[in-house]
Amino acid sequence: MKTKLVTILIAFGVIAITGLFVWGALRTPTPVASSGNLEMPTAAISETLSDGRLDVQVYATGNRDVRLEITFLPDANALELAGMRPEVNFAMVYLHRDGFDSPLETVEAGRWRAKVKLPMAGRWVVSVGFGEEFAEVEFDAL
């Protein structure tokens, strides 16, 4: 009688463990668990300015298309920069020509976005800042 009970308990344990393995293999991953859904920036920089922190992320999406995400977190005493828009300038790294400014779209207070079609592929630098203080980040546009 005891051996029959032990055999049944072992059988239930084996079935439970097998069921867990089968369930884990057959279930579909959630979007959070799938790392292929996350878009990583091509280049990013976080620069501490005198009045706060400036975060810039560059997404080179191909065909010379670039998306720029800008976040400015002002210090508590930096009221004059809180309402200002940053200056943005794209320029090629190895060419000695003037760059071009990019139109910014306000996402929310302290956050901006720009979408740009660059005139040519190559190594670019984008400068983002306020007044004399800038953050610069280089990236490759294909």
pLDDT of residue 82: 58
Superfamily grouping for domain 39-141 = Immunoglobulins (2.60.40.10)
pLDDT of residue 28: 57
User: pLDDT (tens digit, 9 = 90+) per residue, 28-57?
Assistant: 554 444 444 468 899 999 999 888 899 999
pLDDT at 76: 78
Q: What is the token pair recorded at 57?
A: 């992320």
Distance CA 52, CA 99 (A): 26
Quick check: helix, strand or coil at residue 142? coil
Specify the pLDDT at position 27: 65
User: Shortest CA distance to 91 belongs to which of 58, 136, 54?
Assistant: 136
Q: Is the pTM of this model over 0.75?
A: no
The predicted structure's pLDDT at residue 31: 45
* DSSP class per residue in 52-67: EEEEEEEEEEETTEEE
Residues in the chain with pLDDT values less than 70: 20, 23-38, 78-83, 96-98
Domain ranges for the chain, please list them: 2-35, 39-141
For residue 4, the model assigns a pLDDT of 81
Provide the pLDDT for residue 100.
Answer: 77
Element (H or E) spanning 91, and its range? strand 87-92
Q: Retrieve residue 108's tokens.
A: 């929310």
